[in-house]
Structure 1
Amino acid sequence: MSRYKIALICLFLLIMQGMAMSMLPASLVYSDLLMTPHWVLIFLMIIAVFYDKDETYNAVWYGLAFGLLVDVIYTGVLGVYMITYTLVIYVIHGLNKLVHANFLAASLLAIVGVTLADTMLYVIYSFVQITSMTWGDYGLLRLLPTLAANMIFFILLYPLVKERVHDWSEQVSNV
């Protein structure tokens, strides 16, 4: 049952991240700063930290599926988000084995995950010549605002879902 709840939350976040820019003030939306909401990725990183065990990779599978949905719904290039989300969640799952699951560790993993995902997307889009930003412009005008916006979302989401996700993990392991 918890797997359906996780999928429904990911679907809800997928829809909401498409509307995220309309929730911001116009002065911020029409500035030079570019922010990309990675809300599904943030939630999947919480799943990787608090739901998955060392031998389970549920968050990776969700990353594959919902990364493909992001590609289909929001981008013109299929597979970019699918591969990026899957690889980032896999890396976060591996790094989680090195730290104790708490707010600080989850925050650091979220910073690493969003930075890695957004940088991978930039590199891929640069390679296929969809973007032509310089590295300096990318870092200042896209990466930092994206990281800040997604960390605000992480700080808001974490207390709402952490205990539920941990409880779902315990229910699955007890069955």
Structure 2
Amino acid sequence: MNRFFLPLLLFLFFTLESIFVQLLPTEFFYGKWILVPRFLMVVLLLLAIYGSQKYAILYGFAFGLLFDIVYTEIIGVYLFLLPLTIYFVMKAMKVLQTNILVVAITVMAGISLLEMVIYKLNHFLHITNLTFSEFSQARLLPVICLNLLFLVLAFYPLKQYFEKLAEQESLL
């Protein structure tokens, strides 16, 4: 049962992202802000920092492919961007301390990197016509605020679970 809990937990956060978008009224912020929950990415980054880096990368690939299949028109964008972002955050955390403030800043930097690369790709493919300034005000800042709130709420239970998971894995 224990080995099935992590994939189910990740799938729960994958599903919660779309439920959150469906439940949030579109006129909530007068249409000025685009709120994109990246709950799964936050959880994967915490898994990479406090748990198994190998599992974080593997689940990044798996859920990236699932995300591409379900939500995007181009297969491969999230398939490569999720594990790549996880990899960059893992490398940064090797030289940084793992206190909550540094972890929060690093996780938000990873989400910002993901959002900016997706924006640049959409801009290059003429899917969006927002300038970078408009993008950062309408989407990037709200995404960081929303996911930071989620990180603050979910940090402690996820940290405890991932540390316990890493400890059990090291005993095997």
* TM-score normalised by length of structure 1: 0.91
Give yes or no for the alignment of 1:16 onto 2:16.
yes
Shift of residue 76, structure 1, vs aligned partner: 1.7
Give yes or no for the alignment of 1:62 onto 2:59.
yes
Q: 1:100 aligns with which of 97, 104, 112?
A: 97
Paired with 2:30 and 2:55, the residues of 1 have a C-alpha distance of: 38
Task: Name 1:43's counterpart in structure 2.
Answer: 43
Q: How does 1:65-80 map to 2 (within 5 A)?
A: 65-80=62-77
Among all aligned residue pairs of Structure 1 and Structure 2, give the percentage whose two residues are the same amino acid: 27
Paired with 1:133 and 1:38, the residues of 2 have a C-alpha distance of: 21
| Aligned-CA RMSD value | 1.6
Shift of residue 25, structure 1, vs aligned partner: 4.3
Q: 1:171 aligns with which of 158, 162, 168?
A: 168
Paired with 1:3 and 1:77, the residues of 2 have a C-alpha distance of: 31
Q: 1:118 aligns with which of 99, 110, 115?
A: 115
Task: Name 1:6's counterpart in structure 2.
Answer: 6
Paired with 1:105 and 1:112, the residues of 2 have a C-alpha distance of: 10
Per-residue deviation, residues 33-71 of structure 1 (Å, max 9, x unmatched): 11111111000000010003xxx5221111111011111
- Number of equivalent positions: 172
Task: Name 2:154's counterpart in structure 1.
Answer: 157
Conserved 8 A contact 1:21-1:29: no
Give yes or no for the alignment of 1:84 onto 2:86.
no
Paired with 1:95 and 1:3, the residues of 2 have a C-alpha distance of: 28
Change in Cα spacing, 1:146 to 1:58, as seen in structure 2 (3 Å) is: same
Paired with 1:3 and 1:47, the residues of 2 have a C-alpha distance of: 14
Paired with 1:58 and 1:115, the residues of 2 have a C-alpha distance of: 22
Give ranges in structure 1 of 5+ residues lacking alignment: none
Change in Cα spacing, 1:4 to 1:37, as seen in structure 2 (3 Å) is: same
Paired with 1:12 and 1:29, the residues of 2 have a C-alpha distance of: 26
Per-residue deviation, residues 141-164 of structure 1 (Å, max 9, x unmatched): 110011111111111111221111
* TM-score normalised by length of structure 2: 0.93
Shift of residue 106, structure 1, vs aligned partner: 1.4
Paired with 2:30 and 2:75, the residues of 1 have a C-alpha distance of: 27
Give ranges in structure 2 of 5+ residues lacking alignment: none
